[in-house]
């Protein structure tokens, strides 16, 4: 059972690591969800790993999750547990976040559109198994990639890669609002040096894209966990508007996919120069 895939640099490694935690499409056999698979799949950041597939050509390392976020979400803290999905009390600590309130905590209670994900509650053993077999190995893989580069260079820059619906839905904090083409999240300047956020924003803006910062996404667990700028560990979340490259219902790539992918190659090449000058 393969939980993640790591793509190492095709050229000399740089202290640049990308991860795609929500693009997984390998659905475990025990994922007994209530809505049709087509509805559950709308939670995916479909094709994001392919959009960044050429990042290793520039010296970056890319880690992608292969399991779906609706099964267990690697961009949540382990305590972000929703008791409503369980048939018995959770034995560990619970720290409910805004995501949990929206039904999309560590284990999703709701599928896209706000419909129930399960016909019946899950056992604690079921959830603990998901954490042990999927969540923890993915986190270990991302941490290992970051630590390897940090040990070698004394600094590391991390791009946490996502996509987002073009318009906020009922499971978001901005329902009905059209989003920018890119949203960068650094948790209000706490997870990376401000120059990193500004550089990515300026590079995308120069390509003609509309860029927002920390609105409506500030970054969640992976950038929170790994972003420690005082230690020269810089983590930035990047969200791509799905309207740029795919049909949000069928999940099929649209005519814009190739152009966006080419622009992301240019972005990663620019980031390679950025980190090379600072490492």
Assign 71 to helix, strand or coil.
coil
Full-prediction pTM beyond 0.95?
yes
CA 154, 14, 69: angle at the middle one, nearest 5? 95
Q: What SS3 state is found at 122?
A: strand
User: Cα–Cα distance between 98 and 102 in angstroms, integer?
Assistant: 6
The pLDDT value given to residue 173: 86
Distance in angstroms (rounded) separating the CA atoms of residues 170 and 108: 14
> How many whole angstroms separate alpha carbon 181 and alpha carbon 49?
18
Helices (H) and strands (E) in the chain, counts: 8, 9
pLDDT recorded at residue 279: 92
Tell me, what's the pLDDT at 169? 85
Domain spans of the chain? Answer: 4-76+117-278
pLDDT of residue 113: 86
Task: List, run by run, the mean pLDDT of 10-residue segments along the chain (279 residues).
Answer: 95 98 97 97 97 98 98 97 96 93 96 94 98 98 98 98 94 90 98 98 98 97 98 98 97 98 98 97
The fold adopted by the segment(s) 4-76+117-278 is Aminopeptidase (3.40.630)
User: Distance (Å, rounded) from C-alpha 114 to C-alpha 166?
Assistant: 17
């Amino acid at each position: 059972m393969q939980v993640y895939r790591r793509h190492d640099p095709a050229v000399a490694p740089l202290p640049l690591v990308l991860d795609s935690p929500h693009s997984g499409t390998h659905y475990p056999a025990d994922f007994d969800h209530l809505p049709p698979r087509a509805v559950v799949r709308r939670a995916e950041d479909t094709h994001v790993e392919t959009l960044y597939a050429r990042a290793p050509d520039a010296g970056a390392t890319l880690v992608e999750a292969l399991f779906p976020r609706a099964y267990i979400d690697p961009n949540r803290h382990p305590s972000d547990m929703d008791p409503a999905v369980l048939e018995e009390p959770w034995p560990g600590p619970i720290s409910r976040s805004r995501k949990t309130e929206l039904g999309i905590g560590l284990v999703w209670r709701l599928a896209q559109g706000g419909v129930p994900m399960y016909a019946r509650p899950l056992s604690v053993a079921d959830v603990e198994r998901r954490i042990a077999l999927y969540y923890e190995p993915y986190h270990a893989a991302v941490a290992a990639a970051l630590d390897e580069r940090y040990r070698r260079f004394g600094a590391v820059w991390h791009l946490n890669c996502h996509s987002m619906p073009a318009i906020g839905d009922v499971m978001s904090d901005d329902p009905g609002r059209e989003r920018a083409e890119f949203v960068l999240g650094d948790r209000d300047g706490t997870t990376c040096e401000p120059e990193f956020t500004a550089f990515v924003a300026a590079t995308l803006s120069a390509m003609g894209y509309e860029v927002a910062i920390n609105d409506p996404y500030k970054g969640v667990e992976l950038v929170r966990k790994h972003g420690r700028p005082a230690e020269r560990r810089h983590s930035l979340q990047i969200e791509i508007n799905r309207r740029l490259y795919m049909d949000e219902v069928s999940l099929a790539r649209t005519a814009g996919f190739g152009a966006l992918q080419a622009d992301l190659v240019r972005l990663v090449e620019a980031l390679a120069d950025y980190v090379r000058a600072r490492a």
